[in-house]
Structure 1
């Protein structure tokens, strides 16, 4: 089962916006060494919206090859075109990904029936475990609990990343799906509470800079050790909050650069973190114990 702390991995780039393969290798090693339970390659935090199809597939292949089966690799393969999502999902399977993460179609605003048919079609087209991904704040498309419950019985659809931060919504889903269906948080501040309610883990932005801490947090919550999990979460709360002072992944890429783990690179239309927020993010790293000075 896919469970625990799953990093929504950034895609490192150079100053011209080209993929920095050496830094990608360094980041994957960083997670393998620090207890991350799974890697999500080319999701929202990986700038999936601005990588072309060839780059998208190349990043998945690179991560799969380097991980070499040590932990699961989940490939982001969602798109607002069902045909494109099928194409990406097929290629992720061929690359050796363990599962795929499929965001709700953005911009074109499908109905709930359209969402059901979209995800059902992909699941029937590609025989690989698939995780739904609901993040209406980014997509302008909200997949309601009843649609998730309906999709939970479709072969190959094994779970959902529920990123609304709405614990009542998460409870609705948990109450309506089988115990085998994997409900994951996609919201770092509320992940502990979702796991304690019966969720199986968290797809995390914070884990990019605090992999060991997020792994410990998820392990404690999965064991039902609420006191330990909440204590870790409280310490990490400055990061949960301040890694979103500008649109993700702008702040987290700057934080990784500040930590010496990647170059100063991001792809338009996203821009490098505004100077006025540098100390805000650096102070969050300090307050969370990630940066010592």
Structure 2
């Protein structure tokens, strides 16, 4: 296991969870993990939004962690793993922390409680209670357009003082708030943006890294953007960003992660573009749009990719 505070920087990938015929697709999961373990990502988030974690039972979630940890270990890379957790009840979240305390992870990514819309005082007490209870460090996930509550900077600063809260995935969608927090955060507290379409701005503003679904594609380019900014080469970083900025919109043209799964399926990295209800696979129109972009970016991949309809459940060849 790693020191998460030190490792929480650079490009992280919120790994999608592959399914086939309703089940966790372990061969595809192993293939994905090996692929990204050889890429310039600094860590993986498992079972969060992009990983359809709320559709996984505990046995599946545990198996997901076990398979990924095994493949990462076999790759000889020291990639940290964060487990995504969410829930509206503090006591039930404590139970989840207990149940996962001995899993081979390095930390948790925990979103604000959804639907209940607690006050800032309630949010503070909720996360403090979880941080006191957790066996592993916590990364806060501030995403008010999904949880219906925003962690204000005053609340975040109070939470950042807790020794077991080491960073934040920032999806507040308010650049002024993000800049203010980056400027005022305590030393060593990490901020990673989770807003794919605003990633360049966030990195330019001082974010320590990014957790991006879009980085399932063109991973090297997304990783290079921060490196170039750190080197002071903003012009090259902006050119790299412009080459992938369209992907950050295309992959969210319909509810995520369906578009990314379609792309990965066409690349041969996963056996099926399957998602679990209430998520559905991409529409025929978006499938056509995605396939055209794949052909434009990687014609050889498309020629050797699956020829089945994206809506087929039939047998498909692997990569």
Same fold (TM over 0.5): yes
Pairing partner for 2:171 from 145, 154, 163: 163
Name the residue aligned to 1:95: 103
Q: Relative to 1, partners in 2 of residues 1:251 and 1:216: Cα closer, same or farther, differing over 3 Å?
A: same
Contact 1:57–1:91 (CA under 8 A) maintained in structure 2 = no
Q: Give the deviation of 1:274 after TM superposition.
A: 0.8
Q: Tell which has more relative contact order, 1 or 2 (C-alpha 8 A, sep 6+).
A: 1
* Residue correspondence of structure 1 range 129-148 to structure 2 within 5 A: 129-148=137-156
Name the residue aligned to 2:43: 38
Distance in structure 2 (CA, Å) of the matches to 1:209 and 1:77 = 25
Name the residue aligned to 2:12: 6
* Residue correspondence of structure 1 range 192-207 to structure 2 within 5 A: 192-207=200-215
Name the residue aligned to 1:26: 31
Q: Give the deviation of 1:290 after TM superposition.
A: 5.0
Distance in structure 1 (CA, Å) of the matches to 2:276 and 2:208 = 32
Matched, 1:277 2:286: yes
Pairing partner for 2:135 from 114, 117, 127: 127
Distance in structure 1 (CA, Å) of the matches to 2:200 and 2:99 = 33
1:81-106 deviation digits (Å, cap 9, x = unpaired): 22333333344441121121001111
Q: Which blocks of at least 5 consecutive residues in structure 2 are unaligned?
A: 1-5, 303-319
Calculate the aligned-residue CA RMSD, in Å.
Answer: 1.8
Distance in structure 1 (CA, Å) of the matches to 2:173 and 2:229 = 17
Q: Give the deviation of 1:241 after TM superposition.
A: 0.3
1:202-238 deviation digits (Å, cap 9, x = unpaired): 0011111222222222322344432222211111111
Q: Which segment is superposed worse, 54-63 or 24-33?
A: 54-63
Distance in structure 1 (CA, Å) of the matches to 2:88 and 2:171 = 18
Distance in structure 2 (CA, Å) of the matches to 1:145 and 1:170 = 8
What's the TM-score, normalizing by structure 1? 0.93
Aligned with 1:95: secondary structure? coil
Contact 1:100–1:130 (CA under 8 A) maintained in structure 2 = yes
Which one has a bigger Cα radius of gyration? 2
1:86-142 deviation digits (Å, cap 9, x = unpaired): 333344441121121001111221111111111111100013221000112222222
Aligned with 2:158: secondary structure? helix
Distance in structure 2 (CA, Å) of the matches to 1:35 and 1:137 = 30
Q: Give the deviation of 1:72 after TM superposition.
A: 1.1
Aligned with 1:96: secondary structure? coil
Name the residue aligned to 1:54: 59
Q: Relative to 1, partners in 2 of residues 1:28 and 1:255: Cα closer, same or farther, differing over 3 Å?
A: same
Matched, 1:84 2:92: yes
Distance in structure 1 (CA, Å) of the matches to 2:207 and 2:232 = 11
Instruction: Provide runs of 4+ in structure 1 moved above 6 Å.
Output: none
Matched, 1:227 2:231: no
1:38-69 deviation digits (Å, cap 9, x = unpaired): 11111100001211122222212221222125
How many residue pairs match? The answer is 291
